Amino acid sequence: MSHIKPIRQVTVIGTGVIGASWAALFLAKGLDVIAIDVSLNAESSLRKFVLTAWPALERLGLTPGASPLRLFFTSDLAEAVKDVDFVQESGPEQLDFKQELYGQLDALLPPDVIIASSSSGLPMSQIQLGATIHPERCVIGHPFNPPHLMPLVEIVGGPLTSEATIRRAQDFYRSLGKQTVRINKEMPGHVASRLQAALAREAYYLVAEGALSAADVDTALTAGPGLRWSVMGNMMLDHLSGGPGGIEHFLQHFGAPLTASWKSLGSPELTPEVQRKLSESVRAEVGTRTIEELEAERDDRLLEILELRANAI
């Protein structure tokens, strides 16, 4: 790659839920953001989202010079990527769309500008086939929702992605305060969503079987393992469960009952009847609260946890 410039200007392609959240984060970190989205009312929706998210970002701490006024919007791709230092693509999860887009970006951008995709499911090995000139600068930078609050970014390269691109992407996301995980092998859904899916499968099974309500499933998680997972992950907690002998003792003494329990885990089919049971149980937990109220509650609690984690460092 050619001379590497500092990243000061970022283009956000696609300003839906994920793209808008990325834009708010980049702005909070003192970057210039050029956003592009051809959807109706995209610009007004984006600016509204940024202003709504700004108090939370102020609470977490803004970089000097950060301002929503550093957001620019266009519907022209060439204009959106002119003089840009990094591209965060959050467009539709359609492979043909992304391949065509990456071909256009590849032709417009200097070879040292990274094109990172927020894709939650499409593999970079397929996406980067559209970038026939410099596929080595294409990488997955998959956030956890909402990106302006959640620290996690999963980084996955395709077979044509260079090591330099992966390292630069890691450095950039970490400079934003993100915690990155590098996935060395392409996996459907990457990693965090797979872990989440495994838990969701059992949660749905328990509710569908009438073992307990959706509210009690959520309480069992948030008051039990979820509380521990907010400070340590599964692997480290298993190490602690082994006592002085650590993970080796845990595997030797708890491995057999653990694998036996796996055999009893459910594999529910989301038939209309199961969906009805799940919906009724979740609606009972929701009560009269709106989506907006629940989102605000989620984000406020996330902020409290993030502040506690920051103070503990």
Per-block mean pLDDT, blocks of 10 residues, the chain (313 long): 78 97 98 96 97 96 97 96 97 96 98 97 96 98 96 97 97 97 94 94 96 97 93 93 94 92 93 96 96 93 90 74
Angstrom distance (rounded) from CA 8 to CA 31: 5
Predicted local confidence at residue 53, as pLDDT: 96
Q: Could you give the C-alpha distances from 203 to 53, 55, 230, 248, 272, in angstroms and in order?
A: 31, 34, 19, 29, 17
**Can you name the residues that pair with 73 across neighbouring β-strands?**
35
pLDDT of residue 310: 83
What are the angstrom distances between the C-alpha of 4 and each of 102, 114, 160, 226? 21, 10, 19, 41
Looking at residue 1, what is its pLDDT?
A: 44
pLDDT of the residue at 313: 64
Q: How far is it, in rounded angstroms, from Cα 86 to Cα 173?
A: 11
Q: Is the pTM of this model over 0.75?
A: yes
* Chain centroid, CA 78 distance in Å: 27
Instruction: Let me know: does 115 contact 109? Beta carbons within 8 Å.
Output: yes
Alpha carbon distance 63, 28 (integer Å)? 6
Per-residue pLDDT at 2:
47
Q: Which two tokens stand for residue 288?
A: 């009269």
Which domains can be identified in the chain, with CATH numbers? 9-183 (3.40.50.720), 192-312 (1.10.1040.10)
Task: Provide the 8-state DSSP code for 111.
Answer: T
